[in-house]
Structure 1
Amino acid sequence: MSWNEPGGDKNKDPWSGRNEESGPPDLDEVIRSLQDKLGGLFGGNKGGDGGANDNNSPSLKGLVFLALGAILLWAASSFYVVDEGSRGVVLRFGEYVDTTQPGLNWHFPSPIEQVEIVNISKIRTLEVGYRSAGGRKGSVSQEALMLTKDENIVDVRLAVQYQVSDAKKYLFNVQNQTATLKQVTESAERGVIGGNAMDFALTEGRSQIVADIQVEIQQVMDSYDSGIIISNVNLVDAQPPEQVQAAFEDAIKAREDQQRYINEAEAYSNDVVPKARGAAARVIEQSEGYKSRIIASAEGDVSRFSQILAEYTKAPQVTRQRIYLDTMESVMSGTDTVMVDVKGGNNLMYLPLDKLADKSKVMRKLVDTYQSEPTATQSYNETNTPRPSSRGRLPRGR
């Protein structure tokens, strides 16, 4: 039955006043109930007839239990483990106290002391001029573009690998280690690249430039007492800007062609020069032989002339005639035809020496043949030649 129906309960009228018996809860009763619950938790007893409890506060035993538990938890938090290859830096109220070695260690719990664990065996890598993301290396122009000595621009990308050598120095001597190392690397890179020409930086000078950059970075970081050692500096890429890539590739190709031509010329030189030197040595030897031969001939002529001079001194006319005849013989021996002018006449004597020489050769050959082969008459005469008798006289012929 609804409250507004006849005979309904008027106490349920939402617009009428609350039940006179209902009222706000008693605050003292609420506090007393809470104390009773806490007392039961720590061993307290409630009083009879809802009256006040004679022992409303927690017992001493419960407080001691809570205190001991808190102390144990606080003490347990003071133990820590330093992994192999790491060092623990202990700070007491923010001030350095000690550096602990790998293993189980203890320190005063926080907030008295804190521990910073630093991995000194890990090789960290700093990328300068590019960023690696998803296997791709994107260029960072403000870091990569460098001005060379010959006022050209190159795009250089470096990867600096470093380790922590001293955990204390690494944490306290440099405020922001990564940012500091990055700035030092850029400064060293610009200094070294700016001291070399572009061709040197992009070709044969890569290894030298990387070594110089590493030395420069290490010197600056040591001056900061940073506790960082540079393990390696890798030249990831070095090339001219994209706007001049095509022209630079043409220049590289031309340089390669130049080197190829130089190599071919050197090979040709290595082939020709030894041959030329051998020919020159051969000509020199021939010249020396000719020189020796001419000198010997001249010395022989001098000796012969000296002998002739001695003979000429003894008999001038005879010697002169002999020299004349020898000279004419040497001249006429190479002549086939001789024209002789006869004194006192208009006739000119013609001597065909070539034909006479041929006939002379034929006659000489016949004579030689005749002398080498005996004739039948000679054989007969030799056969029938009378022999001397035993008495020493020849027999008469018949």
Structure 2
Amino acid sequence: MFFIQNLKTVKVGRQMSWDWEKLKEQQQRRSDVPPKMDDLLKKFNNLKIPGGPVIIVVILVILLASTMFYTVKPSEVGVVQRFGRYVRTTQPGLQFKMPLGIETVKKVNVRLVKTEEFGAAGGVSRVSGGGNTVTLMLTGDLNVGVVPWVVQYRIKDPYNYLFKVRDVQRLLRDLSEASMRLVVGDRSIDDIISQREEIAVAARESLQRELDQAETGIHIVTVEMKKTDVPEPVQPSLNEVNQATQEKEQLIYQAKEDYNKAIPTARGEADRTIRAAEGYALDRVNRAKGDASRFTALFAEYSKAEDVTRRRLYLETLNEVYPKLEHKYIVDDQQKNLLPLLNIGKQDGGIK
């Protein structure tokens, strides 16, 4: 009997403990359920806050003001849209717009210079889709060159930049590649390697024209050419061509040097010979004129006194000729025997 009473007591204790745990679980579930909106409104209405409507109005005014005013930085402009349609462009400073999302503002930095690179290590562009080698270009002399470059730009017309082109970055990359290929295609591989600044200027002008025609609102600040080269498989052949070109230029320079040395010397010798001939001709002419004048003067005097002039000429001639003779022999004109004449010059006592 005692055992049965104890068993009932244990059962009742277990049932009471189970009911208590179940009650606690139900209370916890009730606490996890959020209160309903009606209950919150009732509680809020039951609260007695002094100046409650005023506070609510102030809060609403602050919320409206926070959506009506905005600030534009000095390097930005604000593009205002009303229900998605462009309305106006605002300048830096504190500006006003319609609240509650009626007007929205997009701030565009018009002073920031952005950069687009074309060509990375190995000549593969990081902006070219599908792993294409955008830097491999065909030159005007049908060679292939690796031409990496960098484009720096900024936004000059926010309206065109935001609304005229759907994907302005993609268009910029495509037009940059097209402009560079157009410029490179008109030049040889030697020009591509040695005239990078001229190519960069021409590519910038061409790219700016295309961007203006497309109304992208982008201004190209500069186009910078990196080190241009040829693909690695053809590098040895290009080196041989460059070496042959250098040897050819060296031979040309050497030939020009020899030409510059020989031709002036020959021209100087020719001028000297011509001047000597002209001097000799002038001397001969002057001498002939002098002889003719002297002969004319002598003839005039001879005509006046022939005997005297003839004798004077004869004596002057003898005076000029005799001193040049080594031995002089005077022979009597009455001499008729020829034998004494055979020993002339052999006798010590000959007349001199």
Specify if TM > 0.5: yes
In the alignment, what sits opposite 2:44? Answer: 42
Choose which of 177, 184, 189 in structure 2 pairs with 1:198.
189
In the alignment, what sits opposite 1:379? Answer: none
Length, aligned pairs only: 321
In the alignment, what sits opposite 2:198? Answer: 208
Structure 2 letter corresponding to 1:218: Q
If asked which structure has higher relative contact order (CA below 8 Å, sep 6+), I would say 2
Separation in 2, partners of 1:196, 1:350: 101
In the alignment, what sits opposite 2:288? Answer: 298
Separation in 1, partners of 2:221, 2:345: 109
In the alignment, what sits opposite 1:234? Answer: 224
In the alignment, what sits opposite 2:133? Answer: 142
What is the correspondence of 1:1-398 to structure 2 with a 5 Å cutoff?
6=7, 8-11=9-12, 38=40, 41-44=43-46, 69-70=59-60, 72-128=62-118, 130-131=119-120, 139-140=124-125, 142-203=133-194, 205-259=195-249, 280-306=270-296, 311=302, 326=317, 333=324, 348=342
Kindly indicate which of the two structures has a greater share of residues assigned to helix. 2
Which segment drifts farther, 87-96 or 261-270?
261-270
Superposition deviation, residue 154 in structure 1 = 1.1
Superposition deviation, residue 108 in structure 1 = 2.2
Q: Which runs of 5+ in 1 are unaligned?
A: 46-57, 353-359, 361-398
- CA RMSD, 1 decimal: 4.7
Q: Is the 8 A contact 2:77 2:109 kept in 1?
A: yes
In the alignment, what sits opposite 1:388? Answer: none
Secondary structure of 1:237 counterpart:
coil
Q: Is the 8 A contact 1:155 1:241 kept in 2?
A: yes
Q: TM-score, normalised by structure 1?
A: 0.63
Q: Which runs of 5+ in 2 are unaligned?
A: 1-5, 126-131, 330-334, 347-351
The structure having more radius of gyration, on CA atoms, is 1
Secondary structure of 1:109 counterpart:
coil
Q: TM-score, normalised by structure 2?
A: 0.70
Secondary structure of 1:91 counterpart:
strand
Separation in 1, partners of 2:97, 2:252: 73
CA spacing shift, 1:296–1:327, aligned 2, 3 Å: farther
Separation in 2, partners of 1:101, 1:240: 49
Separation in 1, partners of 2:7, 2:328: 190
Separation in 2, partners of 1:35, 1:12: 42
Superposition deviation, residue 68 in structure 1 = 5.6
Superposition deviation, residue 151 in structure 1 = 1.1
